């Protein structure tokens, strides 16, 4: 059985003080972690505040990015080793904003996935097509290629434990959600891709999130789909009330 995982991705929002306030407002109303895993991915500068406030609660913590080297002459980067030492659980890898604005390649994303796993954390690996790709009827091929490249040389056991987030770029921050059927269709393609690359056990275990204008109003419908195990949520994760509605979607 796959445990549902709802993760807020704050992007470049909130300072340490906002972070503490947010966590204090939500931490006693989160579902049990074996029912739904609640995660917040915060900017690197907010992670100490996130960890301190979340301690002892059901809130899991995530970084929004990291580098693929643990140390060295890489000015401005974040060490996966240090994230692990701090107590961070997840790292979002290959978000479309990182691919687009910061020119991250499939190869970088694969190296980061290895680095996160080597440092005992769980990657949330993002994939998703542009509107142009969708309109050209090439979504499946695009997503298959991104997933295959991201998972290169990872073991079946590593893949079974990680999270893949399907985020169609045209649905991010636009208010345009993929319909739950469109999201299911591509999440199914991702699961089949994992099955082809590995085996049925691995594809049955890997968790797949949908992201792109997920809101309290549509989360239940999305989560009712067989291949959707969670959400990666931007805008609607910024307010405590809305985040609580998302993680408590089963109530
Ligand atoms: O990019 C996203 C989460 O990573 C989605 O953002 P929105 O929920 O704001 O569309």
pLDDT at 178: 86
Residue-range domain boundaries for the chain: 5-247
pLDDT at 56: 97
What digits encode the pLDDT tens for the residues 87-101?
999 999 999 999 999
pLDDT at 242: 98
pLDDT at 175: 79
Alpha carbon distances (Å) from 221 to 36, 40, 107, 140: 16, 22, 34, 22
- 11 carries a ligand binding annotation: yes
* Residues near ligand 1 (Cβ within 6 A): 9, 95, 167, 172-173, 211-214, 232-236
Task: Name the token pair of 157.
Answer: 């056991």
Testing ligand 1's pocket by substitution, the residue of 232, 239, 245 carrying the most ligand atoms inside 8 A of its CB is: 232
How does the average pLDDT of the chain come out, rounded? 97
Alpha helices by DSSP H, listed for the chain, are 16-26, 47-54, 80-86, 96-101, 106-118, 131-135, 139-150, 156-160, 180-197, 200-205, 219-223, 240-247
Nearest to 195 by CA among 186, 210, 205, 182: 205
What digits encode the pLDDT tens for the residues 107-136?
999 999 999 999 999 999 999 999 999 999
169 Cα to the center of ligand 1, angstroms = 9
Q: Is the pLDDT of residue 64 over 90?
A: yes
Testing ligand 1's pocket by substitution, the residue of 172, 177, 208, 237 carrying the most ligand atoms inside 8 A of its CB is: 172
CATH classification of 5-247 is 3.20.20.70, yes or no? yes
What digits encode the pLDDT tens for the residues 197-227?
999 999 999 999 999 999 999 999 999 999 9
Q: What is the rounded average pLDDT of the residues 160-176?
A: 92
Within 13 Å, how many C-alpha atoms sit on residue 215's CB side? 12
Q: Is the pLDDT of residue 173 over 90?
A: no
Alpha carbon distances (Å) from 111 to 11, 226, 233: 22, 30, 24
Alpha carbon distances (Å) from 69 to 46, 112, 117: 21, 8, 12
9 bridge partner residues: 41
Using DSSP's 3-state secondary structure scheme, residue 40 falls into strand
* Predicted ipTM beyond 0.90: yes
């Amino acid at each position: 059985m796959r445990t549902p995982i709802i993760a807020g991705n704050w992007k470049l929002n909130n300072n340490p003080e906002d972070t503490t306030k947010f966590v204090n407002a939500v931490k006693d109303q989160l579902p049990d972690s074996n029912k739904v895993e609640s995660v917040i991915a915060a900017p690197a500068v907010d992670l100490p505040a996130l960890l301190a406030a979340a301690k002892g609660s059901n809130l899991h913590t995530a970084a929004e990015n990291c580098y693929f080297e643990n140390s060295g002459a890489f000015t401005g980067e974040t060490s996966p080793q240090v994230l692990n030492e701090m107590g961070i659980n997840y790292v979002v890898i290959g978000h479309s904003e990182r691919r687009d604005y910061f020119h991250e390649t499939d190869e970088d994303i694969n190296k980061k996935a290895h680095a996160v796993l080597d440092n005992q954390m769980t990657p949330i690996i993002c994939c998703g097509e542009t509107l142009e790709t969708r309109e050209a009827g090439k979504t499946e091929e695009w997503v298959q290629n991104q997933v295959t490249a991201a998972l290169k040389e990872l073991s079946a056991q590593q893949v079974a434990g990680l999270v893949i987030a399907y985020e169609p770029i045209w649905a991010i921050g636009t208010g345009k959600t993929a319909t739950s059927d469109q999201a299911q269709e591509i999440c199914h393609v991702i699961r089949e891709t994992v099955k082809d690359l590995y085996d049925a056990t691995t594809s049955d275990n890997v968790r797949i999130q949908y992201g792109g204008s997920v809101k309290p109003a549509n989360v239940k419908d999305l989560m009712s789909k067989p291949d959707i195990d969670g959400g990666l949520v931007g805008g609607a994760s910024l307010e405590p009330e809305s985040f609580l509605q998302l993680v408590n979607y089963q109530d």
